[in-house]
Amino acid sequence: MAPSLFEKINTLISANLHGIVDRALESNSVQVMDEYIRQVERNLEALEDSAATVGGTVKTLKRKYDEFAAAAEKLDRDIDTLVVKGKMDLAGAAQSELNTKQQLAQEYYEQWQGQDQQYQKMLDMRLKLEARLTTIKQEREHLKALIELAEAKKVTTKTIKSLDQLATSGDDQIDNLASKIRENLDREDARLDMATKNISEQIADAVGDSEVDRQLEERRKRLLGNQ
């Protein structure tokens, strides 16, 4: 995925929904929310296209790794047989081929792991963006109703700068609706914080597993290298 798309999506995900709602309230219109919704929908579509491409690459790289790893494993067994039979020339040629296959398998493995982390990050970004889209659409309707209610009750919104101010208007119905919008936005912010923490932990775990695999492989070669 192009860095520019990453940046746009990160900006949309991290957008202050409270600020968007307050700007809509200040202008006495939901147009600013509509613009955010359009941007999210447009970038969400681009993200899904890119994720599908990267996902396909992940499957290809994994298949290539599996093929070379399986071929290397079989060749390794064949070399043992050749050595036991004393066919050292053939064993030497096979060993050279094995080295090449193992190197290619390792390269495909590293590319596969790198692309898979990228793919998982894109899927996580999609979930976050979809959640933000759902929230802002819901709060758009709530805010629209709030603006209409305020106008019907002759509560001026031109001097109102935020939900906090509107929530102290003295009208219970308006106060409750404003408080509900604010609580929903707070809950969405909390969900985003948890999701961000979870994906960071998953990526760290994946990198950690790869390091353990590498260390075990080095140990196996050291202990069994002469056999």
| Contact in structure between 15 and 131 (CB atoms under 8 Å) | no
Measured in whole angstroms, the distance separating CA 220 from the mean position of its chain's CA atoms is 35
In tens digits, what is the pLDDT along the chain, a chain of 227 residues? 455 888 888 888 888 888 888 888 888 888 999 999 999 999 999 999 999 999 999 999 999 999 999 999 998 888 888 888 888 888 888 888 989 999 999 999 999 999 999 999 899 989 899 988 998 898 888 888 887 777 766 555 545 556 666 666 566 777 777 777 777 777 777 777 766 666 555 555 554 555 545 555 666 666 666 55
Distance CA 191, CA 141 (A): 21
What was the pLDDT predicted at 14?
87
- Structural domain including 116 reads 3-224
| Contact in structure between 186 and 180 (CB atoms under 8 Å) | no
What was the pLDDT predicted at 116?
93
Total domain count for the chain? 1
Q: What distances in angstroms separate CA 203 from CA 121, 180, 197, 198, one per listed residue?
A: 8, 35, 10, 9
What was the pLDDT predicted at 146?
82
Distance CA 184, CA 176 (A): 12
What is the SS3 assignment for 155? coil
| Contact in structure between 44 and 13 (CB atoms under 8 Å) | no
What was the pLDDT predicted at 178?
74
What was the pLDDT predicted at 219?
61
